[in-house]
Amino acid sequence: MSATSRGFVRAFTISLSSSSPPPHLSNSTAAGIVVSRFLGGGRRPLPLPPCFALSRSIRTAVSDRRDSGLAAVMSSNKRKGQKKWKAKKNQNGSSMMEGASSSTADTIVESLEELSISRLPVNEPSTMSQFGNVEQNRTSVPGQKTVWKPRTYGTTTVDVQSLPGNQINIGNQTDVAGVNEKKSVDLSAAFGPDLLENFNVDNTTYLHAQIRATFYPKFENEKSDQEVRTRMIEMVSRGLATLEVSLKHSGSLFMYAGHEGGAYAKNSFGNIYTAVGTFVLGRMFQGSWGALASKKQADFNEFLEKNRMCVSMELVTAVLGDHGQRPKEDYVVVTAVTELGHGKPRFYSTPEIIAFCREWRLPTNHVWLFSTRKSVTSFFVAFDALCEEGTATPVCKALDEVADISVPGSKDHIKSQGEILEGLVARIVSRESSKHMEDVLRNFSIPPVDGAGLVLGPNLREICAANRSDEKQQVKALLESVGSSFCPDTVDWFGKEAGDRSRTADKSVLTKFLQAHAADYSTKKLQEMVRLMREKRFPAAFKCYYNFHKVDSLSKDNLFYKMVVHVHSDSAFRRYQKEMRHNPHLWPLYRGFFVDVNLFKANKERAAELAKASNVTDRTNGSSDTLVSNDLADEDANLMIKLKFLTYKLRTFLIRNGLSVLFKEGPAAYRNYYLKQMNTWGTSAAKQRELSKMLDEWAVFIRRKCGNKQLSSDLYLSEAEPFLEQYAKRSPANQALIGSAGNLVRSEDFLAIIEGVDEEGDLGRDHVVASSTPVPTKETKTKQEGLIVFFPGIPGCAKSALCKEILTASGGLGDDRPVHSLMGDLIKGKYWQKIAEERRKKPYSIILADKNAPNEEVWRQIEDMCRSTRASAVPVIPDSEGTDSNPFSLDALAVFIFRVLQRVNHPGSLDKASPNAGYVLLMFYHLYEGKDRKLFEAELMDRFGSLVKMSLLKSDRNPLPDPVKSVLEEGINLYKLHVGRHGRLESTKGTYANEWAKWEKKLREILFSNAEYLNDIQVPFEFAVGKVLEQLKEVAKGDFSTPSAERKKLGTIVFAAVSLPVSEVQDLITNISKTNSDVEAFIKDKRLGETLTKAHVTLAHKRSHGVVAVANYGQFLNQKFPVELTAFLFSDKLAALEARLGSIDGEKVDSLNEWPHVTVWFGQGASAKDANTLPQLLLQGKANRVEIDPPCVVSGEVKFF
């Protein structure tokens, strides 16, 4: 047995409990179980390969030795209930993993070598692992020493022992076709067109295709992000699964399958990306292993080749172009380990990845596990509190505190990359993942770093800087520097010899790929995938290249190629996933997808054998490609969500990706671009204002500096980072906005020469929202969701007339969805419930909600409809400047009233015959009171992600005539008096009935005497309708795949509070005033009926108490419980109700404020938070207190704001 296998056996010998093995496993197989063999766990653990299965006697011998030398200690943080891991050291300070003597390991190895693989028990097909089921692949060749071959993974593969000759050897250097002797060919002609052209497909032609490298499939959640989060919380709360969260390092995908298997980027190989990745990975081995690096590099290559495995990594470097921050050092972090076998790939679970990486001393990522309702809800709340300003330090600190298990990565993001954190990846894994992680951390200690301090020669940046002539020169220098032990040949980059032609093979390879007979079941499934994608015209390319590694096996009847499956657009993954729902037996469409292709001829006897192999069907009756147990439905098992931080998106999406818009289309188009991006993300209104100010300044700065020459996106941080650093220094608010800036690593002198290739594709149209209207295609024309058009306006804003024009518009809104309207004045009963019913009946229609939607209560109903009926919503508002406290100006109000007074026979009886028409419009006008125009528009954008404005008034109009302005102000003052005394009582009743009648008459006289002015200042209706139709068509064309109304729920969180019913709080204060003259005198002029619109008891604030304190209330979100209001305290500038909080499910809900209270009023010069000082003011004699006896009990609900 090789040294590699011996080392790996030593690493995987771990102690197990004394319980008997499951009935489907033998004792030796059960002893080999390390961790669950699926991504994140599964229904039951899977065994290790036979050579790792230890007999009871061997296990006992090792266990005795390990008790003193291989134990690991888990220290528990009792206060938080967290599990932090440290590897125990032995007395001489060395790692206990090293404590196992080599003699013990040698004994194990010798015992294993004596075991005949043919005598080992055959396992029944085990429970599904990640992306496939598992079988044993036992190959025993007469006359050769028995060796272990990796098990094959996938739906199924041929059982080699059931075939004649007990050997297939497809694509090997032996008798490949079974009848043809190997024909040597001249290298000058080996890769020319003649060889392929003369290879004709007939009944003797077979194809053997094997996946050589791949990354996880790109799963697209059918549900919205909010629905995914809710489902994740539910699954963890019910004990069905665990939530796993990992850091997202900002770099490029790099995959390594051994020096012959190849090095791959996302969609290519044999270029600067893979050369840089190979160099960095090789240098990581040197740093970890020191003097043993060369041997370990060779062992690692051999291990990957023999076991047909692929290791995927995030390649983080400053030489391949700028992302969110230039890293302080160049490194890789392992993100996936894949066993490719001879079938469907099997991806290691995270515990398995950590075990693998610690064995080979490869860098690991930071991982957190959340297995309880409290921890998982706290995680999402913590993210929402940090999403707009989070950087690596506070994010990692917060997650460390709320997670059940935290496993720090061997590569510290802060030290290696910096503070700017791209995001987090959260996914559902097995509920046993926590136990599996504990087992691995207990038995695989953190490896030492033997190469620390060694001089390793020129680093990546120095090599790239010294070789600036062209890409080929840089590649050559990098591969030479990495050494022959890790990179013994460079054929993937330069071919077999200097005279080789282009690597690209003729397109006819793909034709022959689909026409040839499948040599095994895996090949048949790959053909099925490619054929489907071509027939459906998916946006993908199948590029074929010569496989120079197989030149010694090449003959005229035996051809070898590499195929790259390059997916051009994310829409391909979505469409393919839809096909998988109709045909569950399809193999997944992977990211980073590379296939070894072997076309060959077979004689009649071999053809019969191969036909038998290809017809072997799925022994497990199919399997779904899920991330966790078969106990869960596919849509649950594949739940995954990416959570990105605004500080990263600011740099990459708003600055870098916006450069082309800024320089080609100008500042106005750039502003539209970044506003659309922020609206899509659901960025809070406050952050949008801050970012808009900063980005406008950036646009002026960079255009002034660069002129008409566009700044390179690869080097954009050279200008952006100093700008951001200076901007951040101006104020703490700017610093929070930027996140982190400064200490720029300059990369101009060592940037790799990429020659226009964007390997990651993150500058492509999938990631950039173009400023111009997208061109509709057949794919996007038919929408799979509805649209609600509604009108936050005032009577007289022309919504009904507009709806009629939309209904009769030629071509509708530009797609094939039906458009219909419901007029509020003609609907009996509750209007918005009727809209919801129509949405359910016609889910893919566009509905015009012809009714004023003036307040947040209505907006919330529309949001709920969007979520429950899968729709988007767009508000249409009259364009107006507004006032300091209202989104509509007096000019707009005058026009609205004038229009209403010209109506005749209005269905809602609001026309010139209405005696109180002016009062009704003032009532609607005051429904918007308290919001200026910016706040009004920002809140609508925040909720619904888009906004349509209807032109109303000409910009060059004359000022409002004084009589018109005076009569409107008179009516507003009268309205305030009326509401202050009578509330919502009609104007024809009450103390001010006569005043109202006189005002209504005066209003009509003045407006009609100024009719010419009021008609002249309005924008022509036809023009306004045309502009609205243009905007609505643009919205209808947009790819809104989820209800945008949810975005506010996913936005940043500032504090946790108990929300109380405002009406009950107002009634309580009114009742107190009736029995206490001091309170009556105090509230007399306070207009609490207008100013008190929200009531809550603050529980924790992230500025005062920290993010984790706020996050800990996540477990109580949306739950109701009793709140006692015990006293009313007031001073000359403040008023509040004292509160006593109750319990939820027996657990007391406590506020972190010293004095829990409900602020009900604050005067000029004071703020809501100043109400905290009322108890001190009371002691100083500057406030009054009125007891509420017995206390008033109201129902409160935990919310985040």
DSSP label at residue 1050: G
| Sign of the alpha-carbon torsion through 958, 962, 967, 971 | positive
* Cβ contact 221:425 at 8 Å: no
| Sign of the alpha-carbon torsion through 1094, 1097, 1102, 1104 | positive
What residues form DSSP beta bridges with 1186? 1128
* Cβ contact 1097:1135 at 8 Å: no
981: number of Cβ within 10 Å: 11
* Annotated catalytic residue within 248, 525, 550, 799: 248
How many Å apart are CA 949 and CA 706, to the nearest integer? 35
CA 1146 to centroid of chain Cα atoms? 36
Radius of gyration of the chain, Cα coordinates, nearest whole angstrom:
35
How many Å apart are CA 936 and CA 914, to the nearest integer? 30
* Cβ contact 1099:1056 at 8 Å: yes
Task: Give Cβ neighbours of residue 256 (< 8 Å, ≥ 6 apart).
Answer: 213, 262, 263, 264, 277, 278, 281, 304, 310, 311, 313
DSSP label at residue 557: T
* Cβ contact 1006:964 at 8 Å: yes
DSSP label at residue 793: -
* Cβ contact 738:727 at 8 Å: yes
What residues form DSSP beta bridges with 823? 850
Q: What letters, b where the CB count within 10 A reaches 16 and e where it falls short, cover 883-892?
A: eeebbbbbbb
- The angle at the Cα of 417, spanning 1050 to 751, to the nearest 5 degrees, equals 115
DSSP string of 373-428, one letter each residue: HHHHHHHHHHHHHHTTT--HHHHHHHHHHH-SEEE--SS-HHHHT-S---EEEEEE
How many Å apart are CA 570 and CA 761, to the nearest integer? 11
DSSP string of 181-193, one letter each residue: PPPP--HHHHTSH
What Cα–Cα distance (Å) separates residue 660 from each residue in 179, 314, 710, 763, 775?
59, 27, 7, 10, 19
Three-state secondary-structure class, residue 338? strand
Closest-CA residue to 348 (of 360, 334, 361, 362): 334
1124's enclosing H/E stretch is strand 1120-1130
Helix, strand, coil percentages, rounded to 5, for the chain = 45, 15, 40
Strands (E), 970-1115: 1055-1060, 1095-1101
Active site residue 266: no
- Of the CA atoms within 13 Å of residue 1175, those in its CB half-sphere come to 9
* Cβ contact 1083:1037 at 8 Å: no
Positions marked catalytic: 248
